[in-house]
A and B are shown apart, each in its own frame.
Chain A
Amino acid sequence: MKQQPLVSLKEIKKHFPVGSGLFGKKDQFVKAVDGVSLDIYPGETVGLVGESGCGKSTTGRMVVGLTNPTGGEIYFEGKKLREYKAKKTLGKNLQMIFQDPYSSLNPRMTVADIIAEPLVLHKVGTAKERRKRVDELLERVGLASYHGSRYPLEFSGGQRQRLGIARALALQPKLIVCDEPVSALDVSIQAQILNLLKEIQEDMGLSYLFIAHGIQAVKHISDKIAVMYLGKIIEYTNKEELFANPRHPYTKALLSAVPHPNPKMRNRERIILKGDLPSPANPPAGCSFHTRCPVAMEQCKSIDPNLLPTSEQSLTACLLFEEKVAN
């Protein structure tokens, strides 16, 4: 029997209005997210990669309800997100870790208060029980209970990210959206945090939506990976498949752009994309990647490809494959 997905995104859209026409009519939109569908099953990690402005963070924020989609529907355990009357049920199950551990922790609260805040808001336990829980959580993320009385200012970037994780874990959520959790950290600290996230997942069986532009980190932690470009998923497959057999020309270019850690591989053949990411306010017609695509064809300028199955596990949105599928 097929398992029910924990969170399911159905064609979600987020269009931000920009500028205003006559009588304040909003006539232009930045299509930050433009029809994204994705299922996250219990206990798995879905990676979301893409360059800045591709809509990956907005997608993450919509999943935890920090911003509402302007189209489409998000389901949590089979029920529409906006139909949950008690928002607290969602808060308990969907949590988020942010990129910048400096601005996501209140500098005037002690660490113990920061971590206990979700417990207080959800009226979990007595003050004494909460204190015990905070100690447990601090220990879980590799800190000590005496850290509880300190302020965020006294911690390094990596330690602050651990505090953010402890806060997210406080209510034992089923899904944590990790928005670039390691990109602000030093290399040696990144590895510590990635290891910690993996350990926690093994212990608690929760799911992650792991958003990052660093492909190495995404590869390390994810089971499935979705590649986004200008508000759309252009390739979605499991990890092994994505790296062994990337299909979309953008995925290929993205992988080939990552610097190789072996100096002997310096002269390997690489795909260097021309130009910049087009503005999401004015995306190109047809396939949004055709302006930079090394293998673009004439019809790419007018036809927007659909995300279609290209193998048992993979979905790809590219005309090159659409024809093959059709045949």
Chain B
Amino acid sequence: MKEELLLEVKNLETFIPTPKGQIKPVNDVSFSINKGEIVALVGESGSGKSVTSLSIMGLNASAIQYRPESSIFFNDKDLLKLKEKEMRKIRGNNIAMIFQDPMFSLNPVHPIGRQIAESIVLHKKVKYKDALVTALELLNKVGIPDAKRRLNDYPHQLSGGMRQRVMIAMALACDPKLIIADEPTTALDVTIQAQILNLLHKLQKESGIAILLITHDLGVVAETADRVLVMYCGKIVEEGTVEDIFENPLHPYTRGLMASVPELYGPTKEKLDAIPGVVPNPLELPKGCNFVTRCSYATEKCSQNAPTLLKHPSGNRVSCWYPLEKEGERGHYETAATSFS
């Protein structure tokens, strides 16, 4: 059975002018999300993952400029070509977003019940009173105890985990097809993180909502995602199913990220295999592959020509001249090149 396509990002390329010159936070990124799928977008700060999500939501449109070839198709509509008025019908209605810090994304001077009901009234033709009933149902659904009393609570009266649940309830208010969750658990404690991830999983299973999960935590990815996109310096460097990515990472950066996390299970390593160096300045990206300055496998070829994202026989898509072999050894370009389709 073929999965139904929900969102398709094609050749997304963005520019942001800065006093020191123009930067390209997202550079020719293409990916798709199917209905009911959890896709994780992994990367460190500056990798372009948040700009990608803002582009899908049409937020911060005044600061971000797009290359004309870029497109984001959702339900056969190119979101980048929509007028703000049309976009407003989709935003919050079909695509909703959850942010990292729920304290700053909730209005501190209104009770949470009212904030949830408001978005329902805005998108659907219902009375405020009925919307409030729906809000109560939603709060119950996301597991807020004693929800009826909580309707009149203000955000500051809730704990971090509770506020994130309220944000999720608000995102669910109009039965969205896609939720973009930007680091939804980063600000939370581990035991609360486990609760929230559990909730997201439940929602996806019960309501068939697709989730684009933006995170830097590989543990969260392994625990939640179906498919994984790894971004570095504005480009997708590897893409694959969660099993393939974790079992057989092809890109040296993906493997480096995994080796950087100390093991919780099994013996402690004397030294972590850290990725040397830092993410390059977006104004001075290296020629050739962006990862060349930190890659221990790099050759002359890597510093001259940038690789493109191609399908590898193992199933992943990878952007590397020398995709890694199973044991973490450098692959051979010749063999890899011929087997690429």
A interface residue numbers (CB < 8 A to B): 51-52, 156-159, 186-192, 194-195, 198, 213, 215-217, 219-220, 239, 243, 253-266, 270, 272-273, 275-277
Contact = CB atoms under 8 A, between A and B. Distances in A.
B269 to A, nearest CB: 8
A20 B196 CA distance: 37
Contact of B198 (A157, A192, A262, A272): A272
The A contact surface, by secondary structure, is helix
Contact of B275 (A191, A253, A259, A273): A191
A156 B278 contact: yes
B222 A188 contact: no
Interface string B242-267: 11001000000000111111111100
B264 A198 contact: no
Contact of A188 (B264, B265, B274): B274
A162 to B, nearest CB: 11
B246 A272 contact: no
Contacts of A258: 190, 219, 264
Contacts of B257: 187-188
B193 A257 contact: yes
B87 interface: no
Given A213-B189, A260-B222, A190 B246 contact: no
Nearest to A259: B219
B162 interface: yes
A195 B274 contact: yes
Contact of B159 (A195, A265, A276): A276
Interface of B: 44-45, 145, 159-162, 189-195, 197-198, 216-220, 222-223, 225, 242-243, 246, 256-265, 268-269, 271-276, 278-279
Contacts of B223: 259-260, 263, 266
A187 B218 contact: yes
B246 A263 contact: yes
Contacts of A260: 219, 222-223, 264-265
Given A191-B261, A259-B223, A275-B145, 17 more contacts: A51-B190, A157-B45, A187-B257, A189-B278, A195-B274, A213-B190, A216-B261, A243-B265, A255-B264, A257-B194, A260-B223, A261-B218, A261-B222, A261-B258, A263-B223, A273-B191, A273-B195
A215 B190 contact: yes
Nearest to B259: A191
A34 to B, nearest CB: 19
Nearest to B276: A192
A181 B107 CA distance: 32
B161, B162, B222, B263 — most chain A CB neighbours (10 Å): B222
Contact of B243 (A190, A191, A264): A264
B198 A187 contact: no
A51 B189 contact: yes
25 contacts: A187-B44, A188-B275, A190-B260, A191-B259, A191-B260, A191-B272, A192-B274, A194-B274, A215-B190, A216-B261, A219-B263, A257-B190, A257-B194, A258-B264, A259-B194, A259-B223, A260-B264, A261-B222, A261-B261, A262-B246, A263-B223, A264-B243, A266-B223, A270-B194, A272-B198
A187, A239, A255, A258 — most chain B CB neighbours (10 Å): A187
Contacts of A239: 268
Given A192-B274, A270-B194, A259 B189 contact: no
B264 A216 contact: yes
Given A213-B189, A257-B193, A188 B198 contact: no
A187 B264 contact: no
B278 A158 contact: yes
Nearest to B271: A195
Nearest to A193: B274
B278 A159 contact: yes
A189 to B, nearest CB: 7
Given A188-B257, A257-B194, A220 B219 contact: no
A276 B161 contact: yes
Nearest to A157: B45
A261 B219 contact: yes
A191 B246 contact: no
